[in-house]
Structure 1
Amino acid sequence: MVWATPSPAEEHETMIRSHGYSFYGDLKYPEDYAHFDYVNPDAPKGGEISISTLGTFDSMNPYSRKGRGGALSTIMFESLLGDGVGGEAAPADVYGEYYCLLCESLEYPESKDWVIFHMRPEARFSDGTPVTAHDIAFSHNLLLDQGLQSYADAVRKRIPKVEVIDDHTIKFYFTEGISRRSLIDQVGFVPAWSKKWYEESGARLDESRLETSPGSGPYMIEEVDVNRRIVYARNPDYWGKDLPFNVGRNNFDRIRVEYFGDENSAFEAFKSGEYTFRSEGNSRQWATAYDFPKVQDGYVVKEEIADGSPPTPTGFIFNLGREVLQDKRVREAVSLAFNFEWTNESLQYGLFKPRASFTQDTPLMATGTPEGAELEFLQSLGDAVAPELLIEEVRMPHVSEPERLLDRRNARRAMRLLDEAGWAVGDDGMRRNAEGEPLRLTFLLNSSGSATLSAVVENFVANLENYGIDAVLEKVDSSQYTARERDRDYDMIYDSYAAFLGTGTGLAQRYGSEAASYSLFNPAGLASPMVDAIIEASLNADTREEEEAAMTALDRALRYEFIMIPLWYNDVFWTAYYDQYDHPEEQPPFALGYLDFWWYDAEKAAELRAAGALR
């Protein structure tokens, strides 16, 4: 329940105190909620769920630019406001609502000029020491001093001061004259690290290391075998196990992550029972490889589960820092070498849909020409908006012939664009500029990825070569890939941005100009004054309707800027698992939740072992 009372110190302003937070003040779950609607409150605790990942790791500190962090290595750390296991939404049936975890309540004025969190005195780290306001303040400052530069730069401008009022009360102040978007939730999701551990150990947040500070969450590290395995075990003394926020959640005793060098070995290991849950992303395997005996005998369940979130905007991303790719005509021509229709039918068994939008299949997806509230919003930004954006149809992916890889009509269009951009075809069939320099593009790909993705990229590169482009596909191992991705050492890369369903200052980190030259969240290096203006204006939306108009405009503008070749999407999760797990009959729309609110059925597990399906 949210209630308002006049503040003695500030009688002119209404104060809000609540068990949770949303920008507009509306919360689905009341103060006395017993559990989230979608969980099974009687879910049994116990058992193990095991999953796989590809590549390598050399660190259990995921907050450093150095090294490659282990899978789920943030799982031990909680925050004032709670989220799901592995960073999924919690609750997963609403968007933009956050509920207290380390805090028991928060209060703030109607102006949102500051926020006070009242923490739970019973909260403990796994070593038994209390989680206090001093730890939260320390963690906040540690991120500013030793965390990612793009994060620190953005936060310093918005949050000038933090004050520890007492051991269990902390206050954050927000800069005057800026939007109040993403401020309370920003500080509410700072990971809680042990100040005592960091000071005693001398560890730094920006260093690669296997040793970690104690966390306050339900899971602790049980085993780390570098490049082979990570095991997390449920803390039997977890302080928050009975909170309504956690009822029906955190059900497994152990979460085991097995590492593999390539997709094929990972799949074979699943078939043999080396791990027991698989979220499939390879269309070829989903279509053809799940007919092995354990599936036929019912020991392995193959299930499609609806996904209500907008699909991740994944694609072939252009590095706009490369001079050759700053010409949109070149990017247009390069994009025409991708044949979705042929790729989907020939390599992916027709299982995908072409993705067009950064908010695909949501009410925020831009369509046609702007009109109504969206048009009014864009017009209010004046000269910041490209005139053609107001009158042209929103950008949609090109269509290709599915019968052959090289679509001749698109090829002719691409040739004209390259000619116009000054890249003429020489006697040797290669395209060169006026200085005689060849049009060369390097595509960076992680060699541990799926064979299907590799085939997709190889065919795309082959079409580029047919255009007279000197296209080079560089497959590198996971560690090299991570290093080069961070250094933006590529012309093109298979990567992704973050989908959005609402505004927030995080949009500036992902899509804004301020940190475009170095932000890990902006692999294209997009720096668009128009996008900046839309994001900034969206932060001042006073109603959901205004916010939705701004987000639709942002989708339209991002598609206009054309920073990536959008690929495909799937509106269901492809899951396969040994028949020893259960999940709610009604899945929430915003999370699959297999590590969060699924549970282990001991009787089914015993039957699998008796049948020899699992060891």
Structure 2
Amino acid sequence: MRAFSAGLTLIFGLHCLAMTLAVAAEPEWRHGVSLTGALKYKPGFEAFDYVRRDAPKGGTLRLSTAGAFDSLNFVIPRGNPAPGLESYVYQSLFVHGLDEPVSSYGELAEAVRYPDDFAFVTFRLNPQARWHDGKPVTVDDVIFSFNAQVTNDPSKRLYYRDVVKVEKTGSEDVTFTFGHPGNREVASILSQLHILPKHWWEGTDAQGRRRDITQTTLEPPLGSGPYKVKSIDPGRAIVYERVKDWWGAKQPTNVGRYNFDELRISVFRDSTVELEGFKADEIDWRSENSALQWSTQYNFPAVQDGRVVKENFPERASGRMQGFAFNIRKAKFSDPRVRLAFNYAFDFEEANRSLFYGLYKRINSYFEGTDLASKDVPAGLEREILETVRGQVPDEVFTTPYANPVGGTAEKARANLREANRLLGEAGWVIKDRKLVHSTTGETLSAEFLINSPAFQRIILPYQSALERLGITVTIRQVDPSQYIARLNNRDFDIIVGVWPQSLSPGNEQRDFWGSEAADHDNSRNYIGIKNTAVDKLVDRVIFARDRTELEAATRALDRVLLWNQYVVPQFTRSDTWTARWDRFGRPDKLPAYGSSGFPDIWWFDEAKAKRVGGKP
């Protein structure tokens, strides 16, 4: 009997031990997620430090954007969704804090958990979260949103390609399972997923027609965010109004934010007309991208008497590559020597002096503006990573820091053109009847620059002259925004001005930028058409980096390989954002370190200032 009792005790003890181990193995719930280390804000925090908690609500903010819109459905790649939908009408599971590099805190979800090997991630929804019709945000909404976006948008499908299963694992819990454990970024990028109301999209509109998420629509959508669509003038303007009984107003991540009662966003097809609209007090805020306009067009009376304020805000949260990007799907641009010759023909220093008032610096990295940019020669872990692709990348990757050709004087410009001519000759291009033709195929080397703004013409014209001195036939084709997007998606171009923004923690988006699979997707940002196994390997190394040290080394290795393949002629950038505003607004005393201006989310309408400025609002 004692033996039987002892056996039961042993079995019971083992069972309890197994339960204890199982419980211990469960990952802990977290109120936030960070890719760089510990979170700044502890559980139960009341608000972000960079907001004014009692910021006044009210007033109207008038903004502008370039390019028309024809849809209020952002899910599908067809059409042009209205500006502001994802920022103001919809919410994501978590939201970024602007005083940390890459940290996020609960929004529609209140907690997240994942194991050490990042094999899955589970989000627990906030039971208070509501759609604007009062119905709760559910796990079914999350699953529906994920499936809708990866099914209908190739770029999202690529972005979330590691997710093999999404399922309900509790009344408020949704779990994403990954096919390749070790991707420490996936929890963060899934937290950015914008959530859609399943019941609304599966319902009918006012005319009794069943809604279809695969089609464009101008029906104002149902959201859960701080604003809803008040009115639209298709292709010209959209107006958002603040939801007065918004469920999330008192959430810690939202206190002190979204202070304007109304947001009006007007669409302009021409930046010159947009600037005139700002001068005429039709727009409240303008971010300027043209050195010419910033230097010459902001001296009108309202600037001189202080009613309009010019201010530069430092940009610390992101970097970028901007350059003349080749469509290497075309044989004439498939040889990197040809692409490098185009770089030798571009005299940035002269352009910066004569066109840009010396306000720009040359881009020398795909991660320009961040500490992830490659420099010197590779060493340590970065070199170890590069050794895994030796023989698949240019030899210079290991021996020579990348640097763009330098011009600025007549002598340097002539020397650069001589080098360009030498490179073109090596690639098989020879001069016949003053035209550059291929010695084997007889094809004439021509290049069409496809642009959607006249602002680029003044940059390309002197570049065109230099290229034509080499015998290259050059044309500039300006089209309207809708035509430009169509040609871009159809890969119907020779050279465009490509822009790739970079965060402080690069990851899955790099597949969309440079990955071989993305090269064949019309809506990917692999405009260039890169299909390079070494690049693919390095992109995966970035995505599956085990810690920050490895991430930095892998990113610099990727940067170096992209640069030495000469996929673009790098252009120019600056380290701050140029802005001008009619002085009707207030802001916190200290702006967030990684949020640039923080406008408009943490600003507010100041009635006293507005009264002094006068004008139209």
TM-score normalised by L of structure 2: 0.91
Partner of 2:465: 462
Aligned residue number for residue 289 of structure 1:
297
Conserved in 1, the CA contact under 8 Å of 2:66 and 2:271? Answer: yes
The 1:8–1:457 alpha-carbon spacing in structure 2 relative to 1, beyond 3 Å, is farther
Larger displacement relative to structure 2 (162-171 or 295-304): 162-171
**Residue type of the partner of 2:81?**
G
Deviation readout 1:303-325 (Å, 9 max, x if unpaired): 11111134321111111111111
Identify if the C-alpha distance between structure 1 residues 492 and 382 changes in structure 2 by more than 3 Å, giving closer, same or farther.
Answer: closer
Which protein shows a greater Rg?
Answer: 2
Q: 1:69 aligns with which of 62, 81, 102?
A: 81
In structure 2, the residue matched to 1:411 is 417
Q: 1:614 offset after TM fit, Å? A: 3.5
Once residues 14 and 63 of structure 1 are traced to their aligned partners in structure 2, the CA distance between those partners, rounded to angstroms, is 34
AA aligned to 2:182 is S
1:426-441 equivalences under 5 Å are: 426-441=432-447
The Cα offsets for residues 273-294 of structure 1, whole Å up to 9 and x where unpaired, read as 0111001111111111111000
CA drift of 1:445 comes to 0.5
**Out of 562, 567, 570, which is 1:566 matched to?**
570
**Offset at 1:505?**
2.3
Alpha-carbon distance, 1:539 to partner: 3.3
1:108-123 to 2 correspondence within 5 Å? Answer: 108-123=114-129
Superposed CA deviations along residues 411-438 of structure 1, whole A, max 9, x for unmatched, are: 1111111111111000244434433221
Distance between the aligned counterparts of 1:551 and 1:605, measured in 2?
Answer: 47
CA distance 1:461–1:205, shift in 2 (3 Å): farther
**In 2, are the aligned partners of 1:193 and 1:213 still within 8 Å (CA)?**
no
The 2-side partners of 1:7 and 1:107 are apart by 19
CA 1:474 to 1:123, structure 2 compared with 1: closer, same or farther past 3 Å? same
SS of equivalent to 1:548: helix
Change (3 A) 1:208 1:7: farther
Kindly indicate whether the alpha-carbon contact (under 8 Å) linking 1:92 and 1:589 is maintained by their aligned counterparts in 2.
yes
How many matched pairs?
A: 592
Query: Residue 29 of structure 2: SS of its match in structure 1?
Result: strand
The runs of 5 or more residues in structure 1 that have no matched partner are: 1-5, 83-89
Tell me the distance in 2 between the aligned counterparts of 1:557 and 1:318: 16
Cα distance 1:520–1:538, how it changes in 2: closer, same or farther (>3 A)? closer
What displacement does 1:489 show? Answer: 0.7
Q: Deviations over 1:356-400 (max 9, x none)?
A: 112224322211111123223323x25465362453222211111
Measure, in 2, the Cα distance between the counterparts of 1:430 and 1:458.
Answer: 19
CA distance in 2 between counterparts of 1:313 and 1:199 reads 40
CA contact (8 A) 1:92 1:590 kept: yes
Deviating more after overlay: 54-63 vs 315-324: 54-63
Q: 1:98 aligns with which of 104, 107, 110?
A: 104
Distance 2:309 2:126 in 1: 41
**Contact 1:234–1:252 (CA under 8 A) maintained in structure 2:** yes
Further displaced range: 215-224 or 500-509: 500-509
The aligned counterpart of 2:12 is: none
**1:350-429 alignment runs, 5 A limit:** 350-379=358-387, 381-383=388-390, 386=393, 388-402=395-409, 407-429=413-435
Q: Comparing 346-355 with 501-510, which one deviates more in the overlay?
A: 501-510
The two structures have a TM-score, normalised by structure 1, of 0.92
* Structure 1 position 550 matched with structure 2 position 554: yes
1:78 partner letter: Q
Percent of pairs with identical residues: 34
State the SS of the aligned residue for 2:27: strand
Q: Which residue does the alignment assign to 1:29? A: 41
Name which of 210, 226, 239 aligns with 1:231: 239
SS in structure 1 of the partner of residue 193 of structure 2 = coil
Look up the match of 1:171.
175
Q: CA shift at 1:7, angstroms?
A: 7.5
Equivalent residue letter for 1:260: F
Aligned residue for 1:20?
32
Q: Does 1:55 align with 2:67?
A: yes
Deviations 1:92-146 (A, max 9, x none): 1212211110111122333332222221111111122211111111111111222
Alpha-carbon distance in structure 2 between the residues aligned to 1:98 and 1:369: 35
The offset of 1:80, in angstroms, is 1.2
Q: Provide the secondary structure at the position in 2 that maps to 1:556.
A: helix
Q: Equivalent residue for 1:593? A: 598
Give the CA RMSD over aligned residues: 2.1
SS in 2 for 1:172: strand
Change (3 A) 1:614 1:278: same
Q: Give, in whole Å, the separation in 2 of the partners of 1:129 and 1:482.
A: 37
Distance 1:8 1:109, change over 3 A: farther
User: Comparing 337-346 with 9-18, which one deviates more in the overlay?
Assistant: 9-18
Letter in 2 for 1:372: G
Task: Report the alpha carbon displacement of residue 540 of structure 1 after superposing the two structures with TM.
Answer: 3.5
Deviates more, 1:55-64 or 1:462-471: 55-64
Deviation >6 Å, runs of 4+? none
- Distance in 2 between residues matched to 1:584 and 1:315, nearest whole Å: 36
Asked if 2 retains the 8 angstrom alpha-carbon contact of 1:143 and 1:205, the reply is no
Q: Deviations over 1:150-173 (max 9, x none)?
A: 432553x42222222344222222
Q: Distance in 2 between matches of 1:196 and 1:281?
A: 42
What is the CA–CA distance in structure 1 between the aligned matches of 2:455 and 2:350, rounded to whole Å?
A: 13
SS at match of 2:110: strand
1:603 and 2:611 aligned: no
Secondary structure at the aligned position of 1:537 is classed as helix
Which range moves more in the overlay, 384-393 or 188-197? 384-393
Change (3 A) 1:578 1:502: same
Superposition pairs for residues 577-588 of structure 1, below 5 Å?
577-588=581-592
Matching residue of 1:222: 230
Question: 1:533: Cα distance to partner?
Answer: 1.3
Alignment of 1:106-505 (within 5 A): 106-146=112-152, 148-153=153-158, 155=160, 157-175=161-179, 177-201=180-204, 202-379=210-387, 381-383=388-390, 386=393, 388-402=395-409, 407-446=413-452, 449=453, 451-505=454-508
Q: Are residues 454 and 483 of structure 1, via their aligned partners in 2, closer, same or farther at CA, if it must alter by over 3 Å?
A: same
Q: CA, structure 1 residues 216+562, in 2 after alignment: closer, same or farther (shift >3 Å)?
A: same
Per-residue displacement from partner, 1:48-88 (whole Å, max 9, x unpaired)? 22121223221222332222222223231111112xxxxxx
- Decide whether aligned partners of structure 1 residues 114 and 436 sit closer, same or farther in structure 2, where only a CA change above 3 A counts: closer
Identify if the C-alpha distance between structure 1 residues 494 and 24 changes in structure 2 by more than 3 Å, giving closer, same or farther: closer
> Residue 45 of structure 1: CA displacement?
1.5
2: CA distance, partners of 1:190 / 1:420:
49
Please tell me the residue identity of whatever aligns with 1:396. A
- Cα–Cα, structure 1 residues 402 and 345, in superposed 2: closer, same or farther, change >3 Å? farther
Distance 1:26 1:578 in 2: 39
CA distance in 2, matches of 1:483, 1:517: 15
Task: Note if 1:523 corresponds to 2:527.
Answer: yes
- Label 1:421 to 1:403 Cα distance change in 2 as closer, same or farther (>3 A): closer
Could you tell me how far 1:11 is from its partner in structure 2?
Answer: 4.6
The residue matched to 2:303 in structure 1 has which SS?
helix
In 1, Cα distance between the equivalents of 2:549 and 2:299? 48
Q: Distance in 1 between matches of 2:33 and 2:181?
A: 19
